[in-house]
């Protein structure tokens, strides 16, 4: 059977791509190795910036906890609270992703669960893909198969940097609003987010080793003993060497394209944005890699620079940095979506002078 597009992976990137393609009149096949609803290691924080790119308001089947602000701290050394009402909500990914998939199917995409592709090659003007022994052909393939992307590897795209995260679900809410503790993880943080059925706790780090012990120490610091099992270790690829392959026949979106915000760890928004744009590029014949370089890469580069600046500060200076009024305002604006790291990164040049002891 021949399709206009095959989308591999039905997370937020894949469902957004498939829905956009189907709404644009394309015949689209959406594959996932899993049946839905399926869970996914994730804090489940959906920033308010995501709402305008969703198919509609969250339905009753996607319960959520609203976010009114954030608490930031460094162990017991310092803590600051940022009030940011309306800055988003926390969901369970099983509910959220199942809803996005339903919307893609409602728009006309054909979904096949339990479908693992094991061969992919260029064919004529498009691609050929083998799924459970059956070959399907398509004009374009959108690789949305997540952080350990088979399609990215197939077209030779590699991440330039990799972060690691481990998460677990606690049965009680732990904190009234999202909490980040920067004393855990290597150039990373630990988090506790209230979610509809308790709390998501986790730690992210630029180093893979020892995360289970770090997560246990964080949970102990929260007064909850060790982290509950199962705790799940997952990579977050960044700075992919390419987001397209085989002369634009294969387009990568979401985690498969390394579209994770290097400072916020936010991936859902970028998965949806890149999935949609990959689909638009196929429908309109416009350049996806050029769009990514223009619209996504500058924010990721600015965020990576801000992250490097922040983690280079020793803990006491970090506190002085965080309590500066312009930093608090800037962070609140970044959390509530009214500013980006790209807008704010220029301000870093003025900060060393402000941090110098008087």
Ligand X SMILES: Cc1cc2nc3c(=O)[nH]c(=O)nc-3n(C[C@H](O)[C@H](O)[C@H](O)COP(=O)(O)OP(=O)(O)OC[C@H]3O[C@@H](n4cnc5c(N)ncnc54)[C@H](O)[C@@H]3O)c2cc1C
Helix 12-23, helix 268-284: angle, nearest 10: 30
Q: Does residue number 336 form part of the binding site for ligand X (CB under 6 A)?
A: no
245 touches ligand X by CB under 6 A = no
Using CB under 6 A, which of 5, 7, 9, 281 touches ligand X? 9
What is the full DSSP assignment across 175-195? Answer: SSS-EEETTSSTT-EEEEEEE
For ligand X, give the closer residue by CB, 152 or 306: 152
Binding residue (CB under 6 A) for ligand X from 99, 189, 218, 234: 234
Nearest distance in Å: CB 113, ligand X:
9
Residue 184, burial from CB neighbour count under 10 angstroms (0-12, 13-18, 19+): buried
Q: Does residue 296 interact with ligand X by CB under 6 A? A: no
- Asked if 271 is part of the footprint of ligand X (rule: CB under 6 A), the reply reads yes
Which of 4, 103, 167, 181 lies at the binding interface for ligand X (CB under 6 A)?
A: 167
Q: Mark the segment that binds ligand X (CB under 6 A) among 261-269, 283-291, 337-345, 348-356.
A: 261-269
The residue range among 30-38, 53-61, 282-290, 298-306 that interacts with ligand X, by the rule CB under 6 A, is 30-38
Which one among 266, 335, 341, 344 touches ligand X, defined by CB under 6 A?
266
Say which residues have a Cβ less than 8 Å from residue 240's Cβ, sequence separation at least 6.
152, 157, 158, 159, 160, 252, 256, 257, 258
Q: Which is it for the CA torsion 192, 196, 197, 198, positive or negative?
A: positive
CB of 337 to ligand X, least distance (A): 12
CB of 307 to ligand X, least distance (A): 15
Residue span 171-210 as binding mask against ligand X, x where in contact by CB under 6 A, dash where not: -------------------------------x--------
Q: Minimal distance in Å, beta carbon 314 to ligand X?
A: 27
Query: Should residue 262 be labelled a site residue for ligand X when binding is judged by CB under 6 A?
Result: no
User: What's the rounded Cα separation, in Å, for the pair 238 and 258?
Assistant: 4
Q: Does 82 bind ligand X (CB under 6 A)?
A: no
- Site residues for ligand X, 40-59, by CB under 6 A, read 40-45
Of the candidate spans 212-220, 258-266, 285-293, 294-302, the one that interacts with ligand X by CB under 6 A turns out to be 258-266
* Runs of H (alpha helix) within 158-293: 211-221, 268-284, 288-291
Cβ 115 to ligand X, closest distance in Å? 6
What order of strands is seen across the sheet that includes strand 159-170? 45-47, 78-91, 64-74, 179-181, 189-195, 198-205, 159-170, 232-240
67 makes contact with ligand X (CB under 6 A): no
Residues in 109-138 at the binding interface with ligand X, rule: CB under 6 A = 116-117
Cα(113)–Cα(119) distance, integer angstroms: 17
Q: How far apart are alpha carbons 133 and 76 in whole angstroms?
A: 57
Total Cβ atoms within 10 A of residue 292 = 26
Q: What backbone phi and psi angles, to 5 degrees, belong to 129?
A: -135, 135
Cis geometry, peptide bond prior to residue 37 (ω within 30 degrees of 0): yes
337 binds ligand X (CB under 6 A): no
> In the block, which residue shows the tokens 């983690």?
311
Binding-site ranges for ligand X (CB under 6 A): 8-14, 31-34, 38, 40-45, 116-117, 144-146, 150, 165, 167, 202, 234, 236, 254-256, 260, 265-269, 271
């Amino acid at each position: 059977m021949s399709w206009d597009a095959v989308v591999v992976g039905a997370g937020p990137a894949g469902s957004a791509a498939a829905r956009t393609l189907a709404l644009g009149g394309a015949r689209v096949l959406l594959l996932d190795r899993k049946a839905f609803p399926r869970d996914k290691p994730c804090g489940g924080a959906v920033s308010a910036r995501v709402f305008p790119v969703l198919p509609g308001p969250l339905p009753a089947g996607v319960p959520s906890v609203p976010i009114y602000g954030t608490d930031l701290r460094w162990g017991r050394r310092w803590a600051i609270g940022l009030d940011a009402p309306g800055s988003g909500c926390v969901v369970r990914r099983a509910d959220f992703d199942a809803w996005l998939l339903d919307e893609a199917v409602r728009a006309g995409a054909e979904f096949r669960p339990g479908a693992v592709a094991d061969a992919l090659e260029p064919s004529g003007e498009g691609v050929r893909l083998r799924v459970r022994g059956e070959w399907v052909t398509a004009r374009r393939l959108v690789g949305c198969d997540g952080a350990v992307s088979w399609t990215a590897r197939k077209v030779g795209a590699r991440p330039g940097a990799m972060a690691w995260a481990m998460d677990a679900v606690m049965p009680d809410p732990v904190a009234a609003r999202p909490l980040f503790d920067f004393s855990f993880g290597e150039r990373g943080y630990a988090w506790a987010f209230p979610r509809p059925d308790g709390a998501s706790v986790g730690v992210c780090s630029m180093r893979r080793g020892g995360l289970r012990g770090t997560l246990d120490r964080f949970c102990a610091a929260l007064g909850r003993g060790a982290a509950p099992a199962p705790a799940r270790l997952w990579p977050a690829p960044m700075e992919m060497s390419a987001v397209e392959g085989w002369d634009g026949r294969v387009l990568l979106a979401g985690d498969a394209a390394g579209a994770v915000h290097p400072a916020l760890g936010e991936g859902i928004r970028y998965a949806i944005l890149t999935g949609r744009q990959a689909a638009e590029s196929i429908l309109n014949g416009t350049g996806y890699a050029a769009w990514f370089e223009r619209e996504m890469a500058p924010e990721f580069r600015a965020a990576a620079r801000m992250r490097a600046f922040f983690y280079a500060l020793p803990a006491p200076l970090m506190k002085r940095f965080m309590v500066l009024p312009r930093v608090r305002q800037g962070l609140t604006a970044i959390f509530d979506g009214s500013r980006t790291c790209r807008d704010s990164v220029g301000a870093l040049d003025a900060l060393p002078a402000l941090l110098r002891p008087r």
